[in-house]
Structure formats: C-alpha cells, structure tokens
Amino acid sequence: MAQKILAIISLWLHLTFILVSSPFLLGVIGKTKAFFAGKWGPPLFQPYYDIAKLLRKGCVYSTTTTWIFRAAPMIALAAVLVSGFLVPMGGFNAPAQFWGDVILFVYLFALARFFIILAALDTGSSFEGIGASREATFSCLSEVALFLNFTALALISKNLSITGLVGGGVSLPWQIIGPALTLVVISFFLILLCENSRIPVDDPATHLELTMIHEVMVLDHSGVDLAYILYGGAVKLFVLGSFLMAILIPFKTQNIFMDTGIFCSGMTGLAVAIGVIESVMARLRLNRVPYFLISAVIFAVFALIITLVRGGH
C-alpha cells in the first residue's frame, strides 16, 4: 500500500515537474534568438503568459469541423504528457519503466501526431492539408531514425527500457563506445529538431503559410485548443530533450537536488543550442529536408555498426 502511494506521489511529482518547466525552454530559445538579433526580446516567461492568456480566451470553430478537431489537442497533449512518464529527468526517476517501453514512447508520439494531422484535415483548408502532408512525410523518416538509435542504445546497454537504456544509475560507457554514442547524440539531436519543428526543418517564427509545416497545421485552432497545442509542443521538446540529456549526462550524484540542478542546466544549454542554430542557420528548402532526415538515419546506422564492431560480437 505504502509503495502504491509512493508510486502515485512520484507520478504527480513527475507530471508537475514536466508541466512547470517545459514552457521555460521555449522562453530560453526566444531569449537566445533575441540576443543574436541584438534585441532585448520577450521575457523568459513569455510562453507561460501566452498559454495563460490563451486559456482565458473563447474558441472559434469552423463549421466544417467535427468532434475530431475538438478532441485532437487534448489527445495529443495527454499522449505527450504520458510519454514523459517513461523518461527519467535528473533526480526524478521515470515513474513507469518496463521492458520495451521505448516502443510505447515512439507510438505515443505517433498517436499525438496522427490526431493533429486528422484535425488539420478536418478543417478542409488546403493550407492545413499541405502542412499535414509534410508533417506526415518527415515523421515517417524520423521514426526510422529514432528506432535505429534505440536499437544502437539497446545494443550498448543490453536493455530495452528507457531507464535502462540511458539513465537510472546505469552509466553509459562513454570511454569504450564514445564514437557510437556521439553519433547517436548527433542523430538524436537532428530528430529532436525535426520532431519539434525547429530550424532547419521548419520555422516556428514565420507566418508565411506555404513555407511552414507544423504552424500551418494549427491555423484554425484557437483559445484553449491552441493553448493545449502550444503546451503539447513545449512538453514534446522537453521530453525529447530530457532523453538527450540522459545520454549526455551518464552519471548520477545520488543527490536528488544536485541531479536535478545538473539536468536543468543541461536542458537550458540545449535550449540555448537550439536558439543559436535558429539564429545562424536558414531553413532548408523543403525538398532538402528528407536528406537532412536520411542523414539522421545514416548516423544511427553508423552508430549501430560501431557498436557491433566494438561490442565484441
């Protein structure tokens, strides 16, 4: 019984931690971009204000839409939040960990994406159709890269749960298998940029509909729905980022506060890195994006090969 209560408490702690800290990354990215542009920029907590503002607004629905349009933001946010339960975050162990949870992790993202795409098609707008089509195309490739990365990590750590793969006291052998891990990190970073629709795959700042991918899909959402979608995006970035952090920071100090502190500074560093990339790079031409993703696949394949050779098989 006591164990059950502890499990529930850890679940709530995890959820609160994700909910509270995820929009912060967006704020850091915005601040970094403003710094590069020589501006003061919006405050760090601007994403929180945005979400709070949207939550207090009414909604406008298209007469074309159905129940799917209204449910999709909630389904997407719920799926992404639950996927966060599978990933350890600094001092917080993953509340749910079991053999093969990586598969569930990927498929929860797929579920969220599927419904957002359906919601885009539900409006009957050609702009949103374009966005949905592009999002679906790129996610196919990034899913392959993601699974190959997981396979490489599974070969290294001989485990199949996310905690066993990257965190939870099992330190990854950077000395022995460093090159492979570096490749995994690079590949994973590329996937992260794609999945969160950042430059160079997609530009979250432009409002020219024809060049956008993710933004154009949510043109018709408003009010609470838009807030959920923004929140979902932030949580997705946070969850994938914390996965990357768990690979990059392979040790634990056994002090919860210390671990969480290291984790948080790592995440801030990641956000700064994304901000720097957004400031110094241009968006890729759309027909180049598949090459970008295929390079992520190839990095993962090389990581696999190195692991196989070094792993003594």
Which residues from 37-56 bind another protein, rule CB under 8 A? 55-56
Q: Any contact of residue 13 with another protein (CB under 8 A)? A: no
Binding mask 138-157 for another protein (x = CB under 8 A): -xxx-xx-xxx--x--xx--
Window 59 to 118, contacts with another protein (CB under 8 A): 59-66, 68, 74-75, 77-79, 81-82, 85-86, 96, 98-101, 103-104, 106-108, 110-111, 113-114, 117-118
Question: Which positions from 226 through 245 interact with another protein, judged by CB under 8 A?
Answer: 228
Contact with another protein (CB under 8 A): which of 35, 127, 174, 292?
127
Q: Kindly give, in sequence order, each residue whose CB lies less than 8 Å from that of residue 219, ignoring residues fewer than 6 positions away.
A: 123, 125, 127, 128, 131, 209
Q: Whole-angstrom Cα distance, residue 218 to residue 153?
A: 34
> Which one among 43, 124, 169, 178 touches another protein, defined by CB under 8 A?
124
Q: Is the Cβ of residue 28 or residue 194 nearer to another protein in the bound state?
A: 194
Q: Residue 130, interface with another protein (CB under 8 A)?
A: yes
CA distances for 182 relative to 175, 178, 236, 276, 302, angstroms: 11, 6, 22, 20, 11
Closer to another protein at the Cβ: 32 or 93? 93
Residues 175-214 that bind another protein (CB under 8 A): 209
Query: Measuring CA to CA, which residue among 298, 308, 42, 46 is closest to residue 149?
Result: 298
Letter string b/e over residues 86-123, b meaning 16 or more CB atoms within 10 A of that residue's CB = bbbbbbbbbbbbeeebbebbbebbebbbbbbbbbbbbb
